[in-house]
């Protein structure tokens, strides 16, 4: 089974701190994604990457950046955390692009970030 | 703006009851997926539907894709406490844009 591992399950940070959220997948998937999940809003795409060193903005990229130096690792960076970034962050991967339901997202367990 | 509307947002029922969750959009999907998320975990895929009118069954769960591929439903028969969780629909549009609904939080009481 594909495994997507998010190293930090719970984090508490202060406003203005730099935050790194790490995600690793072990099945050689091409695409990786970062979502945030908030009650009543569902999952919203922050950034995605379809190849090493490639990145694309999602729906809510403001305040975030990403890094994909290796195929298996996709990092989400909050340069200066703010209280409105308190959320559940979910990493996911797929073998290739979405095409008539041919690929599905495999998610990590999530990283719950609280910014004080 | 949420392109996918899920209803109801919350549902609390007794063990043994039946329920239906709905997922609607004004746009046509090329495919639609249902995921289930348990507390402290990421969403896990339940099913993918692709063809208009398609019906898929997964034990006590029945998934239906609307004829026009703009809506879908999930029906659970004789709900069990183990069915408790957040049910998410995710639709992929023809431009490969994928959108999630806000989810239906189901609680099944013993």
pLDDT 10s digits, B18-57: 999 999 998 888 889 999 999 889 999 999 999 999 999 9
Question: Which pLDDT belongs to residue A98?
Answer: 56
User: pLDDT band at A74, cuts 50/70/90?
Assistant: very high
Query: Tokens 């999602």 appear where?
Result: A58
- Test B9 with A101 for CB contact under 8 angstroms: no
pLDDT of residue A99: 54
Q: Round to whole Å and give the CA distance between B69 and B53.
A: 8
Assess whether pLDDT exceeds 90 at residue A107: yes
Would an 8 Å CB–CB cutoff place A84 in contact with chain B? no
* pLDDT at A80 exceeding the cut of 90: yes
What does the pLDDT read at residue A104? 82
Half-sphere exposure of A66 (CA within 13 A, CB side): 27
Quick one: pLDDT at residue A1?
A: 66
Q: Which of B4, B92, B102 sits opposite A98 (nearest CB)?
A: B92
Looking at CA atoms only, how far is residue B82 from chain A in angstroms? 19
Q: Between A and B, how many residue pairs show a Cβ–Cβ distance under 8 A?
A: 60
Mutate to test the interface with A, among B29, B38, B43, B63 (most CBs of A within 10 A): B43
The DSSP letter of residue B56 is E
CB atoms within 10 A of CB A30: 16
pLDDT of residue A95: 82
Closest CA to B87 of B107, B71, B60: B107
């Amino acid at each position: 089974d594909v495994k997507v591992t998010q190293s930090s399950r719970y984090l508490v940070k202060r406003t203005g701190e730099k935050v790194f959220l790490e995600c690793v997948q072990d099945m050689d998937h091409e695409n990786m994604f970062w979502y945030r999940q908030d009650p009543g809003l569902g999952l919203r795409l922050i950034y995605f990457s379809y190849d090493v060193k490639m990145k694309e903005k999602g729906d809510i990229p403001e305040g975030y950046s990403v890094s994909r130096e290796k195929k298996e690792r996709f990092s989400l960076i909050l340069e200066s955390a703010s209280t409105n970034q308190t959320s559940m962050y979910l990493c996911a991967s797929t073998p290739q692009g979405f095409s008539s339901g041919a690929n599905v997202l495999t998610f990590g367990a999530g990283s719950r970030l609280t910014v004080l | 703006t949420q392109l996918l509307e899920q209803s109801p947002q919350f549902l609390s029922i007794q063990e043994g009851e039946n329920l239906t969750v709905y997922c609607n959009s004004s746009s046509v999907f090329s495919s639609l997926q249902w995921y289930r998320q348990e507390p402290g975990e990421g969403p896990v895929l339940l099913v993918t539907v692709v063809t208009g009118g398609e019906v898929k069954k997964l034990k006590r769960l029945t998934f239906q894709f609307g004829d026009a591929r703009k809506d879908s439903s999930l029906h659970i028969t004789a709900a069990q406490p183990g069915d408790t969780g957040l049910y998410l629909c995710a639709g992929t549009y023809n431009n490969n844009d994928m959108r999630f609904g806000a989810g239906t939080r189901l609680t099944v009481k013993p």
